[in-house]
Amino acid sequence: MTTSHTPAPATGTRPKVRRRRESRVLKRLLHNKVAMASIVVLLLLVVIAATGSILAPYDPNAVSLSLRLTGPSGAHWLGTDELGRDVLSRLIVATRVDLLASAQAVGLALLIGVPLGIVAGYVGGVTDALLSRIIDALMTLPPLILAVVVVAILGPGLHNAMLAIAILIVPSFYRIVRASTEGARSELYIESARASGCSSWRILWRHILPAVLPALLVQASFSASVVIVAEASLSFLGLGARAPQATWGLMLSDASASITTSSYLIYPPTIMVAITILAFSLLGDGLRDALGRQSTDGR
């Protein structure tokens, strides 16, 4: 008598499939000229942030009232502000502060939103309903008002402002991770891993998290641009960074006081904010295009 044996789907084949997908996604991303240009711009900003203390021609906080509100010149390429501080030096230092602040807010939102989304999507039931209702309630609150309330409670300052912004973007990460986890938990390789005796923790770490990672990368890129705008807005309102710390939002706030007599002060921080937002947004579009096509073609 011949017995038929149908082997269980091997979980070891899953990493191979994942590597092939990653290779295709990377190839599509490399062929996207706009996305690659965005990466170059962001890498340049990172280099400026990392070497800011070397690149800055002057002390960004050095006050010289005799040079206040002097226009662009050979000595001060972007001019000086109302306290005689070199605008270029402050712009360079502000790049580091803004990028670190953006990373702080996005990282904190990931630490909160991802675990909650995975638990809600994987466990389901009452846990999913309870967490989803909390997130829905958070989303109904006006974003700017919520940020102002959080900063008012904790006190003004860049770190507190980033905490407020992180709370605002947690729902976006939660909803994406929850939806991706809910779709992945019924996949055959998850059932195979569960049947082979893998613990829930191992399944979440080795299988669910890599499945939701592509969507997280796209959302993180878009969220970084949102954080840049939010930081500039809060600092402009006096709820973010405090003087003499240099951020693009604080530079915009300082420039607005002299906009009628020294309008050149408004352009450098505005351009930096616009370039950074555009780079993060276009990178997010490129990642979304590269990842989204994997289910519609075989290349």
pTM of the model: 0.83
Bigger pLDDT: 91 vs 293: 91
Kindly report whether the peptide bond that precedes residue 244 is cis, defined as omega within 30 degrees of 0: yes
Q: What percent of the chain has pLDDT over 70?
A: 90
208 contacts 150 by C-beta, under 8 angstroms: no
Round to whole Å and give the CA distance between 181 and 211. Answer: 8
Average of per-residue pLDDT across 129-134: 91
Round to whole Å and give the CA distance between 79 and 67. Answer: 9
Domain ranges for the chain, please list them: 31-63+73-293
Q: Which CATH architecture has domain 31-63+73-293?
A: Orthogonal Bundle (1.10)
Give the pLDDT confidence score for residue 17 in this predicted structure: 59
Band of residue 206 on the pLDDT scale cut at 50, 70, 90: confident
34 contacts 286 by C-beta, under 8 angstroms: yes
Q: Does the pLDDT value for residue 2 go beyond 70?
A: no
Q: If you average pLDDT over every residue of the chain, what do you get?
A: 84
Q: To the nearest 5 percent, what fractions of the chain are helix, strand and coil?
A: 75, 0, 25
Bigger pLDDT: 290 vs 175: 175
* 70-74, 104-108, 182-186: least confident range: 182-186
Q: Does the pLDDT value for residue 191 go beyond 80?
A: no
Q: Encode 216-245: b = buried (16+ Cβ within 10 Å), e = exposed.
A: bbbbbbbbbbbbbebbbbbbbbebbbeeeb
Average of per-residue pLDDT across 154-180: 89
What's the pLDDT tens digit per position in 24-60? 877 888 888 999 999 999 999 999 999 988 999 999 9
Give the pLDDT confidence score for residue 295 in this predicted structure: 41
Give the pLDDT confidence score for residue 13 in this predicted structure: 53
Give the pLDDT confidence score for residue 14 in this predicted structure: 54
Give the pLDDT confidence score for residue 299 in this predicted structure: 38
* 18-32, 110-124, 136-150: least confident range: 18-32
Give the pLDDT confidence score for residue 298 in this predicted structure: 36
What's the pLDDT tens digit per position in 70-97? 889 888 899 999 889 999 999 999 999 9
238 contacts 257 by C-beta, under 8 angstroms: no
Q: Does the pLDDT value for residue 236 go beyond 70?
A: yes
